Amino acid sequence: MEREVATLETGAICCAWNYCGQRLAVGFVDGSISIHDSLDCPAASSSSPSSKWKAHGSRVLNVVWAPPECGDAIACICDDGTFSLWEETEEDTQQPTWKLCKLFESSGSCALDLQFSVFYSSLKMVAAYSDGCVKVYELLDPLELNKWQLQAEFQNVLDSVSRFGKAQCTSASIAWNPQRGESQQTSFVLGFSSDLPQFNSSKIWEFEEAHQRWIPVTELALPGDDGDKVDAVAWAPNIGRPFEIIAVATCKGIAIWHVVLDRESDGRLSTEKVALLAGHDGEVWQLEWDMGGMTLASTGSDGTVRLWQSNINGVWHEQAALDCNGAQS
Partner 1 sequence: MPGRPSDPGGDAIVPFLPDFREPAFHAVRHGVRPPLFRVYVSWSRGSLLHVACLRQPSTEPADKGEDEEPGGKVVEVRLGAGEGGISEAQRRRIAYGSAHSFALLQTQKNSLMAVSRMSSSSFHGEWWQHVLEYSSSISELLVTRRIPSNTIIEDPRMIVQTLEEPTNLKAAWELMEIFFVDKQSSAWLPERLVDWLEDYDSLLTTTESTVFSKLVGMQKELDNLKVIEDDPDYWEGMSSALAVGWLDTVVRLLRLHGSYQLDQLDNREAENGLVEAVSFLISKMPRLRPDLPSEKLGQCYKTKTEFIKAWEEWRGQINSLECSAFWVQCGHHQTREGLQKLLKIMSGNISNLTSTTCHWMELLVSHFLYIRPFMVGLEGINSLARKCRQLKPTPHYNGLMSLLIGILEESPEVVLAECSKSFGPWMVAHGVELLTAGSDHADILLHEERYNLGGISIEELHRLVYAQVLSSHPLTWQIVPTYLASCLKHGVCLLEILLYKQPIQHQQVVLKNLEICQLYELDYISQNIMKIAGMYHWKHGRKGFGIYWLQLAHDEVRLNRIAQQLFECIGKSLSDDSFKQWEGLIELLGTQMGSSGGLEFLHKYRDFKRSLKQVEDGRAANAARQAAESLIQLMRSPSTPQRFWLPLLHDSVKLLNWKAQPLLSVSETNLLLTKLQELSMAKQRPDFVDANLPPHALSSVRLALATNLGRAILEEC
- In the complex, minimum distance from the CB of residue 136 to partner 1, in angstroms, rounded to a whole number: 20
Range 66-85, binding partner 1 (CB under 8 A) = 68-72
Judged by DSSP in three states, 285 sits in strand
Range 283-322, binding partner 1 (CB under 8 A) = 285-286, 288-292, 294-295, 297, 299-300, 303-307, 310, 312-322
- In the complex, minimum distance from the CB of residue 155 to partner 1, in angstroms, rounded to a whole number: 27
Range 153-212, binding partner 1 (CB under 8 A) = 180-182
The only residue of 44, 91, 149, 266 in contact with partner 1, by rule CB under 8 A: 91
- In the complex, minimum distance from the CB of residue 174 to partner 1, in angstroms, rounded to a whole number: 17
Please, are residues 304 and 324 in contact by the beta-carbon 8 Å criterion?
yes
- In the complex, minimum distance from the CB of residue 119 to partner 1, in angstroms, rounded to a whole number: 12
Q: Interior CA angle at 230 toward 227 and 232, to 5°?
A: 165
Please compute Rg for the chain using Cα positions: 20
Distance CA 209, CA 201 (A): 25
Task: Work out whether 44 is an interface residue with partner 1 (CB under 8 A).
Answer: no
User: Judged by CB, which is closer to partner 1: 68, or 108?
Assistant: 68
Burial class (CB in 10 A: 0-12, 13-18, 19+), 227: middle
**Closest-CA residue to 24 (of 3, 55, 45, 43):** 45
The only residue of 79, 226, 253, 269 in contact with partner 1, by rule CB under 8 A: 253
Site string for partner 1, 111-150 (x = CB under 8 A): ----------x-------------------xxx-------
The only residue of 19, 146, 185, 268 in contact with partner 1, by rule CB under 8 A: 19
